[in-house]
Structure 1
Amino acid sequence: MIRHVAAFLAASVCLFGFGIPEASRLIAAKRVPEARVVLERYLADHPRNVDALVQLGSCDELMQDWPAAVDAFGKAVALSPRRADVQFAYGKSCLRVARDRKSLTLLHRGREALQEAIRLNPRLVGPHEVLVAFYSSAPWFVGGSMEKARAEADALARIDPDRGLVARVLLCEKQGDTVQAYSLCHDARTLRPGDYTAAYELGRIVAKTGLHLDEGAQALESCLRLSRGRPHADVAGIHLYLGLIRKAQGRLDEARASFREGLALSPGDTRLTRALAALESK
């Protein structure tokens, strides 16, 4: 009887101490290699656990071992082909390895997996974003197409206006159409005056083009207010672009103050360091 209890407790430790919850805890603590070991041990006894395979692939991504990620996500897709998140993870990793290895086979697999993810869950934003990047950068003979990229960006905008705006603006920049990029940002801010992303993108485009400087400065000043409480706000970028606009306006002291304020918040930001050095060299 005692032996049976001991065996049960040992199995419980393996499941809960060395399974998915423990791996999640290690990943959150940025101990990814340890998490991967935990998952490999768990999968040795539970090879058909799709969630564990997905988490293993995510560890491989974080460790930038993309071929291993393709392997883990591929096994997950084979077991659960109707999970959109699994198709997305597999497609994204396939495209990454295809780029490094120049593999047409992996490229086609990746694109098909992303398209399948969208068919399974049309509101999943990740596949649209990856396909925008793929279509806008791939040569035409492997499926690249700015028309397809714009269609994906438009679909993304219908699901998530902010991320769609970023995608559409980046496509305009890639084609050198800064006038259209500004117009998209201006229209978005008119429709959503209290929107952080619309204000940020407008300020960024103005800083890069030197057009509509007053409007850009106002957008970035509002962006500073809107960034409060947003953990992923690019506050350093806001100060950078505001400083560049002030510099273009000839308000050099304000530009310097903006760069320095940004560096006080993000001391290692090379964008701000270079911008301040360029200003001081004048």
Structure 2
Amino acid sequence: MKRLLLLLLCPVLCFSQQSLEEVDALFAQKKYKKAETVVQTFLEDHPENLKALELLGDAYGHQEKWEEAIDTYKKLVNAKPQVANYHYKYGGVLGMKALQNKFKAISFIGDIKSSFTKATELDKNHIEARWALVELYMQLPGIFGGSKSKSLKYAEELEALSKVDGYLAKGYVYEYDDEPELAEKYYKMAIQEGGSLTCFNKLTRFYENKNQPEKAIRTIESAHKKHQRNALHYQIGKVAAEYNIELDKGEKCLQTYLANYSAKDGVPKAWAHYRLAQIHTYKNNKTQALAHIEIAIAELPKIKPFKAQKEKILDL
């Protein structure tokens, strides 16, 4: 009898697994509306399935349906209050909802804090929740509980879990608090400790924000030596074009990017042509600048900076 029951249940279990795997595939393809529909259909027959409910919340979040995501994650928190990730996701969508309406944001602050804090209490290794608290306490005004010391407290907890995350968190805190020497120090420590593209990107953006494009380019070049990513050629060209420096190097890097381009590089080729148009505009090479901007506009006709750059070229 038990064997028969298992055989009867098998098609349902297989269907359940296949349905949820399909959702993961749809997420990977960024087909979030389709994923929402699949999960909703699944939940009609399996309303107590928490994995499906979490996927539904994720589908709502990807579509910026914050109200629906809040309701969904709240159900998960109520059903399993001991699961740290449910609290983390609930706090996250509350935060996104608060960003939509700053007048109502005040009413969300307490729940956002408590959700992230609960996640850290339930899971001593929850890195994402600690990152969220680092950023939250730095961005909140003091009157609403913002606190650099609390941000640094969670940065210390991150460092105990992962030196790289701790260094990056401290770099973020000091950059936000306009202490550039300390920010630079910790971003460099993160590169020395971990050396990931994320670490290099943090330092690069820091230099760009501080109007130090030469240092930004040197950092990207160091990243390229370690990681050999074609996308870094675009980044060098972008900095050169935006700041009107090292134009020959920028042009060469952008040409290399285009010659080796693949979809995994992320930035569409049109943007590389736009950057080349900028560089040739600085060089007063009107014909070449116009040729590149025409390609950019043909590939992405709705991008306003492309059209603005064409006007500059025509005025040469």
Q: Normalised by the shorter chain, which TM-score bucket?
A: 0.7 to 0.9
Q: 1:202, 1:219 within 8 Å by CA — same for their partners in 2?
A: yes
Residue 66 (structure 1) aligned with residue 70 (structure 2): no
- Residue 181 of structure 1 corresponds to 183
- Residue 232 of structure 2 corresponds to 235
Q: 1:132, 1:167 within 8 Å by CA — same for their partners in 2?
A: yes
Counterpart CA distance in 2 for 1:103 and 1:185 is 31
Displacement after TM superposition at 1:146 (Å): 2.2
Matches within 5 A, 1:116-155: 116-155=118-157
- Residue 313 of structure 2 corresponds to none
- Residue 306 of structure 2 corresponds to none
Aligned-pair identity (%): 22
Residue 113 (structure 1) aligned with residue 111 (structure 2): no
Residue 157 (structure 1) aligned with residue 159 (structure 2): yes
Greater mean alpha carbon deviation, residues 48-57 or residues 29-38: 29-38
- Residue 247 of structure 2 corresponds to 252
Displacement after TM superposition at 1:107 (Å): 2.5
Q: 1:95, 1:106 within 8 Å by CA — same for their partners in 2?
A: yes
Displacement after TM superposition at 1:84 (Å): 1.1
User: Aligned AA for 1:16?
Assistant: S
Q: 2:217, 2:236 within 8 Å by CA — same for their partners in 1?
A: no
Distance of aligned partners of 1:36 and 1:197 in 2 relative to their CA distance in 1, 3 Å threshold:
closer
Residue 267 (structure 1) aligned with residue 263 (structure 2): no
Displacement after TM superposition at 1:239 (Å): 2.3
Q: 2:19, 2:42 within 8 Å by CA — same for their partners in 1?
A: yes
Deviations 1:164-194 (A, max 9, x none): 33333233222222222222233444x4385
User: Aligned AA for 1:59?
Assistant: A
Q: 1:217, 1:242 within 8 Å by CA — same for their partners in 2?
A: yes
Q: Number of residues paired by the alignment?
A: 270
Counterpart CA distance in 1 for 2:270 and 2:134 is 28
Deviations 1:94-149 (A, max 9, x none): 12113324243432212211111111112111111222221111222222222222
Counterpart CA distance in 2 for 1:117 and 1:147 is 20
Q: 2:73, 2:86 within 8 Å by CA — same for their partners in 1?
A: yes
Counterpart CA distance in 1 for 2:210 and 2:9 is 65
Q: 1:131, 1:149 within 8 Å by CA — same for their partners in 2?
A: yes
Counterpart CA distance in 1 for 2:211 and 2:258 is 23
Q: 1:186, 1:202 within 8 Å by CA — same for their partners in 2?
A: yes
Deviations 1:18-75 (A, max 9, x none): 7423322333333221221121122223222211111100000111101111111100
- Residue 192 of structure 1 corresponds to 193
Q: So what's the TM-score if we normalise by structure 1?
A: 0.77
Counterpart CA distance in 2 for 1:18 and 1:255 is 48
Counterpart CA distance in 2 for 1:159 and 1:180 is 21
User: Aligned AA for 1:178?
Assistant: P
Structure 1 residue runs of 5 or longer lacking an equivalent are none
Residue 80 (structure 1) aligned with residue 114 (structure 2): no
Displacement after TM superposition at 1:158 (Å): 2.9
Distance of aligned partners of 1:228 and 1:178 in 2 relative to their CA distance in 1, 3 Å threshold:
same
